[in-house]
Structures are given as C-alpha cells and as structure tokens.
C-alpha cells in the first residue's frame, strides 16, 4: 500500500504506487508526550512536498523518522519500499547514502573549508581520483552559485551562503531524496528567494524528490507540489497549496493566513489574568 495526500481537512491519505516515502499509522512519543498519533503521509516521487505546521507539532521529528535517526513506537516508515525501523545499521547507512539533508543551520564542519565540506561525502564513500573530486565539488558549488567561495572557511560565510554550501554538499552524492529542515529560517529576502528557486530547480534538474519542512507558508506555496499541515499528532490538511488556501477549516485558515489567534490560541494556558495580577508572588509560579 502507498499513500496519496487528500485535500480534505484531516483527510485520510490513500495508497499510491509512486510514493518514494510513506508514513503509515505512525505513533511516536517523547516521554509522556505523544508527538504523532497515527500519522499517515505519502511523499510522491519527483515532487516537492512541504510539511508545515505550528511550532512543536513534530515536523523535524518527522524528518528524523524518515532518515532513521529515531524509530517509530508503532506504524511503518517506508522509504523507497523498505521499512526504516527494520533496517540494520549497515542497511540504514546504505539508504542514507541516497538521501541528502539540509539542516537549519547548515551544519557545515567548522574545521575544514568550503571545498572540503562539499567533498566530505565523496571522500568518505567513494575512492575517486582527486581531479574528479575537484570537478564534482566545483560543479555542485557552481550549481548553488558559490564556486567563488571554494576556499572560504564556514565562519566566513553568511547564513544564506552557509546554507547554499550545505545544499551543494547534500547533492554531491546525487541523492534520490533531498530533505530540507527549515531552509528559509533567518534568511534575508534575497537569500530566501535564492534558496527557494534552488529547491525547485534542483528538484527538477536532478529528478529527485524533495521534502521541505517549514513555517514559511507563502514561500513554500510557490514551489511545493503538495503540502501537509500537521497539528495535534496527525495530518490536519493536505493537498496542493491552492487547495489549502481555499480550505475553509478555521485551523487551516489561521495557519495559511498567519493569524495570531484562532484554534491555535495566542496565549499559553495561564491562570486568570486579573487574579494573577492582583495576587501574591505565588501566582507567578
């Protein structure tokens, strides 16, 4: 069985044969807190899939499940036809060689320069002649527009540049799946536009499947083929960005329009305001 997104609110995804990754009835908890309660998601091959949702809904945890960094308490996490939770360490590493991931802060290795950062996966996994390594690294850096930064150290890069170098590193092994964790966070509008276009163009040019976890609804709506909105441990809504914008669910509306108050309250649960202001110091604790 494979899973297809539905545009209905809380719609149950249905099986599709062309999904590269699927989560079927996934339950996952951290301590007593349930992060996912029967999560169903399908990531279609060759598409850009956006995973959105308010803070703390487990978007990054979802990526960690797909990459096998954490294991589901129940349910299946299928990547390219194989259940990640059933893989040995060796098999998991073999699967990960076909994935690339862009971390929120780039996660470049700080003791080596840009060239060596991009060359890192090649040096670890492929015994290639130095000339070929050089060509591959320069090609990937050229693709992200940073061929000129080849000799810089990570500390000399701006946030946007660091993320583009990390992107070059993520694609240097020609992955089948590219995963982005908050790729737009903290970027200026120009860098954001650059990264946004890169996600779409790399997805199409390299014929890969991309998963983008983000809060930035407007930006990701321009490049995503399919979006999922997570809330309360399951999929609240899914479908094409236009369908989600047209969705009349108050929760989806609040999220898509970025409204401060709504089904997701502005205020963290607190005692009565008046009582707390007039009360003693104990009221603050």
Burial (CB count <10 Å: 0-12, 13-18, 19+), residue 153: middle
Q: How many CB atoms lie within 10 A of CB 66?
A: 24
Interacting residues of 149 by C-beta distance below 8 A, sequence separation 6+: 114, 141, 157, 161, 165
- Asked if residue 71 binds another protein (CB under 8 A), the reply is no
Which of 185/240 has CB closer to another protein? Answer: 185
Residue closer to another protein (CB basis): 105 or 249: 105
Please, are residues 65 and 77 in contact by the beta-carbon 8 Å criterion? Answer: yes
State in angstroms the smallest separation of the CB of 47 from another protein. Answer: 21
Q: Distance between CA atoms of 12 and 39, rounded to whole angstroms?
A: 10
Q: Kindly tell me which of 3 and 122 has the beta carbon lying closer to another protein.
A: 122
Name the nearest CA neighbour of 108 among 63, 65, 157.
157
- Considering only 55, 88, 110, 280, the residue that binds another protein (CB under 8 A) is 110
Nearest approach in angstroms of CB 116 to another protein is: 13
- Do residues 209 and 47 lie in contact, with contact meaning Cβ atoms separated by under 8 Å? yes
Restricted to residues 34-63, the positions that interact with another protein (CB under 8 A) are: none
Nearer to another protein, 149 or 166 (CB): 166
Q: Which stretch binds another protein (CB under 8 A): 21-29, 80-88, 95-103, 233-241?
A: 95-103
Residues 145-174 that bind another protein (CB under 8 A): 166, 169, 173
State yes or no: residue 125 binds another protein (CB under 8 A).
yes
The verdict on 101 binding another protein (CB under 8 A) reads: yes
**End-to-end Cα spacing for the chain:** 50
CB 25 within 8 A of CB 186: no
Q: Alpha carbon 97 to chain centroid distance?
A: 17
Q: Does residue 99 interact with another protein by CB under 8 A?
A: yes
In the list 11, 16, 45, 105, the residue contacting another protein (rule: CB under 8 A) is 105
Between 94 and 205, CB nearer to another protein: 94
Residue 97 engages another protein in binding (rule: CB under 8 A): yes
Tokens 């099986």, residue located: 15
Using rule CB under 8 A, residue 82 touches another protein:
no
Q: Tell me the closest approach of the beta carbon of residue 127 to another protein, in angstroms.
A: 12
Alpha-helical segments (H) within 6-148: 59-66, 89-96, 114-125, 130-143
Stretch that binds another protein, among 12-20, 101-109, 132-140, 144-152 (CB under 8 A): 101-109
Q: How many H helices and E strands in the chain?
A: 10, 10
Interacting residues with another protein (CB under 8 A)? 67, 69, 93-94, 96-97, 99-101, 103-105, 107-110, 120-121, 124-125, 166, 169, 173
């Amino acid at each position: 069985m494979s899973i297809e997104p539905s545009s209905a609110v809380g719609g149950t995804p249905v099986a599709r044969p062309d999904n590269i990754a699927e989560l079927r009835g996934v339950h996952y908890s951290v301590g007593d807190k349930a992060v996912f309660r029967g999560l169903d998601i399908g990531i279609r091959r060759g598409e850009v899939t956006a995973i959105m949702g308010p803070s703390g809904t487990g978007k990054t945890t979802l990526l960690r499940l797909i990459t096998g960094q954490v294991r589901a308490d129940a349910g299946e996490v299928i990547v390219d036809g194989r259940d990640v939770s059933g893989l040995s360490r060796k098999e998991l590493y073999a699967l990960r060689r076909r994935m690339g991931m862009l971390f929120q802060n780039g996660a470049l290795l700080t003791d080596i320069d840009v060239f060596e950062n991009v060359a890192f996966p090649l040096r670890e996994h492929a015994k290639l002649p130095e000339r070929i390594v050089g060509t591959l690294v320069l090609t990937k850096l050229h693709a992200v527009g940073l061929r000129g930064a080849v000799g810089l150290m990570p500390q000399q890069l701006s946030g946007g540049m660091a993320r583009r170098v990390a992107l070059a590193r993520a694609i240097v092994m020609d992955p089948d799946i590219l995963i982005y964790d908050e790729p737009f966070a903290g970027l200026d509008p120009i860098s954001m536009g650059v990264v946004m276009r890169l996600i779409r163009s790399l997805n199409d040019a390299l014929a890969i499947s991309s998963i983008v976890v983000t809060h930035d609804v407007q930006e990701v709506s321009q490049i995503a083929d399919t979006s999922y909105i997570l809330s309360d441990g399951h999929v609240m809504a899914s479908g094409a960005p236009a369908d989600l914008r047209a969705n009349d669910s108050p929760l989806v509306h609040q999220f898509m329009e970025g409204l401060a108050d709504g089904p997701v309250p502005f205020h963290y649960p607190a005692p009565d305001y008046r009582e707390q202001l007039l009360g003693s110091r104990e009221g603050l604790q």
